[in-house]
Structures are given as C-alpha cells and as structure tokens.
Amino acid sequence: MDQPNTSPSQRRWVFVMEPERCIDCEACMISCSVENEAPLGKHRNWIDKIEKGAYPLLSTTFLPENCQHCSNPPCERVCPTGATYRREDGLVLIDYDKCIGCKYCMMACPYDARFVNEEKKAVDKCTFCVHRLDAGLPPACVETCIGHARHYGDINDPNSDVSKLLARYPSYRLYEEAGTEPAIYYIYSNRVIE
C-alpha cells in the first residue's frame, strides 16, 4: 500500500470505511484478534449493525468500527497518569506500563472503543496496528477485508487511497458533536429507502 515519504509530524493516519461493501463477515475482528492477541471475548474492532425502516421496507447497514484515533481524544485528556498519549502522526496509543487501570478513559470514550485487558492488567484498544504500520504494512483488518470496505492512509497526502476516496464521495464521521475530531470517515450509503 502507499507509504508517504513525508516526516511523521506531517502525516495523519485515517481509516475510510465503505459500509456499502461490508458484509458483516467479521474477518477483520478475527485477524485483529490473531494479530494483536486480544483476550478471549474482547475485541479491538467490531461491526455495528444499523437497522432502518419497517417491514417490508427494511435495510441493514454494517458499520466497521474501532478506535477512532481522534485528533482531540477525550481518553487522552482524562488519563491521570499520561499512559494514553497521541503520537505525532495522530495515532492514539497506550503505554501499558503506565496504565494503572482506573478505567476513566473508558468512561470518556463516546465510541466505547476501550476494554480492560485482564492479561495485561491494563486498558486496551486498537493501535492502528502501529507495529505493522511502522514496518510499511497495512493494518491487519484492512489487509484481510474481503469486500475492501476498510481503507487506510495518510489524509495529508493528496495521492493516498483515502484522500482520493474522500475527494470523490461524501462522507461523515461518528459523534462529531462530541468535539473529538475522529479519524474514521464513512462513505455515505447510496441505498434509498423511501
């Protein structure tokens, strides 16, 4: 995939999701759990199912979700030890040694993206597969997605996949009213009900 040749502080990693392409196969959840060794029963990413309409005019939209890596992360703001921090390329990460498990960040996250990892005795969440990203590989969920519903890239690079998608299609983000400036963009569904 595309890796921009800019300095980290100029980069802004984002996800672009195409809910129209998601079929709720949950392969992203499996590959994430395998890649990041999430404890049994806990997931760093998940599929939200949005049901609209009433019989017989029904539709279901699948929204792939994970940590939104917000530009203004409430979890980072409330962390009392500074364990949650924001890297200069915009990734919101956790220093698991510094995390004492007060769970305040879980209260603050409007997306409920965080969970307690009993094995690490710390709070855990999506890292944007930072270890793969730094090695030039795509996140595990993006690589495995069979419908190409998940895209990732640098939104500051006009030639990246995500910039091209966002220039072409209208998009929205979740709970923007919370002032979090999330980094997951969703392409509008074309499906019309009425």
What residue ranges bind other proteins (CB under 8 A)? 43, 46, 48, 50, 52, 61, 63, 65, 74, 77-83, 98-104, 106-110, 112, 115-116, 118, 121-123, 172, 174-175, 177-179, 186, 188-189
The smaller minimum CB distance to other proteins, of residues 108 and 155, is found at 108
Closest separation between CB of residue 100 and other proteins, Å?
A: 5
The smaller minimum CB distance to other proteins, of residues 122 and 130, is found at 122
Closest separation between CB of residue 111 and other proteins, Å?
A: 8
Contact assessment for residue 45 and residue 36, using Cβ atoms and an 8 Å cutoff: no
How far, in Å, CA of 149 to CA of 22, rounded?
5
The smaller minimum CB distance to other proteins, of residues 14 and 99, is found at 99
How far, in Å, CA of 129 to CA of 183, rounded?
15
The smaller minimum CB distance to other proteins, of residues 75 and 142, is found at 75
Contacts for 24-28 with beta carbons within 8 Å, 24 or more apart? Answer: 24/49, 24/62, 25/146, 25/147, 27/144, 27/145, 27/146, 28/64, 28/140, 28/141, 28/144, 28/145, 28/150
**17: nearest Cα among 72, 66, 55, 84:** 66
Closest separation between CB of residue 123 and other proteins, Å?
A: 8
Closest separation between CB of residue 77 and other proteins, Å?
A: 5
